[in-house]
A and B are shown apart, each in its own frame.
Chain A
């Protein structure tokens, strides 16, 4: 038997991503524990982490943290590869794409709250479209659009404010330590 030639070096960036993803997963679990009147209406607390990461470390790190969160969160909550997983994945993908565009908005005018609201709408939009195309192929799905959109606006604003507060209060040094 030969010794393995593959050597994994763990960079500081890897550790940071792992820590931040852990924080995001923890918030996903909190999210899941909060009772919801309607499946799909959730505070989405983990997005606070995504926002902070996006503003502080850039889009690529945010994609890593979000992706790991969806994967690990679904494994922990037991819906990996279930419909909910794909809904979550679609929503996250669309909101990351939106964030990728929205972060180029002038920062003096548009803060984390804007990013959060836009991401929340992209998230719910992606989920609704997937649900319509795959899970419930009937336009009746869109009947609930106003409820989801209102939730996206409210929770998007709240999460954005929390993210803005975190960003303002923690120093720019590595908060993952």
Chain B
């Protein structure tokens, strides 16, 4: 290869370091941001704010009954809700910062937050 003649020994080193850097940043692409906390709200008030570190369950009381929220490492979801249409339950696992499941009839919402908030506020 003619082009290889222009490569000096250190150039290979720099290329290897560059490739290592690219490799080191790859998890950012898969992880998709930094899901760190789940915020459970009842009637607009923060009911619980939990780190997405360990497995936990929450029972959130509302006007229609109890909404069950499951927290797992890196994700959260609404397991059961007394609402008629079950939108928030069907949304499944919330993984990325900014994702939110809103159980409007029971006035409960579950939101994933990272280090910074994607939205200042949501009202419904």
Interface residues, chain A, with chain B CB atoms under 8 Å away: 105-106, 108-114, 117-118, 121, 137-140, 142-147, 149-150, 152-153, 156-157, 160-161, 164-165, 168
Given the interface pairs A139-B33, A139-B116, A143-B33, the reply to whether A118 lies near B6 with Cβ below 8 Å is: no
B121 contacts partner chain A, Cβ-Cβ < 8 Å: no
Given the interface pairs A143-B28, A145-B28, A157-B15, the reply to whether A109 lies near B9 with Cβ below 8 Å is: yes
In the bound assembly, the distance between CA atoms of A169 and B40 in angstroms comes to 66
B34 contacts partner chain A, Cβ-Cβ < 8 Å: yes
B64 contacts partner chain A, Cβ-Cβ < 8 Å: no
In contact, B8 and A108 (Cβ under 8 angstroms): yes
B84 contacts partner chain A, Cβ-Cβ < 8 Å: no
Question: Residues of A contacting B32 with CB < 8 Å?
Answer: 143
- Cβ-neighbour of A139 out of B3, B14, B18, B115 (below 8 A): B115
- Cβ-neighbour of B25 out of A140, A149, A165 (below 8 A): A149
Smallest CB separation, B81 vs chain A (Å): 29
- Cβ-neighbour of B14 out of A108, A113, A137 (below 8 A): A113
Can you list 7 A-B contacts with CB-CB less than 8 angstroms, sorted by A residue number?
Answer: A110-B10, A113-B8, A121-B21, A139-B114, A143-B29, A143-B32, A160-B11
Question: Residues of A contacting B122 with CB < 8 Å?
Answer: none
Given the interface pairs A138-B118, A139-B33, A143-B29, the reply to whether A153 lies near B6 with Cβ below 8 Å is: no
The count of chain B contact residues (Cβ–Cβ below 8 Å) is 26
- Nearest 8 CB-CB pairs, A to B? A109-B10, A164-B6, A110-B10, A113-B11, A111-B8, A114-B14, A153-B18, A149-B22
Count how many pairs of residues, one from A and one from B, have CB atoms less than 8 Å apart in the complex: 83
Smallest CB separation, B111 vs chain A (Å): 15
In contact, A168 and B18 (Cβ under 8 angstroms): no
Given the interface pairs A139-B34, A146-B25, the reply to whether A114 lies near B116 with Cβ below 8 Å is: no
In the bound assembly, the distance between CA atoms of A121 and B114 in angstroms comes to 27
Question: Residues of A contacting B28 with CB < 8 Å?
Answer: 142-143, 145-146
Question: Residues of B contacting A147 with CB < 8 Å?
Answer: 29
In the bound assembly, the distance between CA atoms of A137 and B120 in angstroms comes to 12
In the bound assembly, the distance between CA atoms of A108 and B7 in angstroms comes to 11
In the bound assembly, the distance between CA atoms of A147 and B116 in angstroms comes to 22
In the bound assembly, the distance between CA atoms of A74 and B15 in angstroms comes to 31
In the bound assembly, the distance between CA atoms of A149 and B27 in angstroms comes to 13
In contact, B116 and A117 (Cβ under 8 angstroms): no
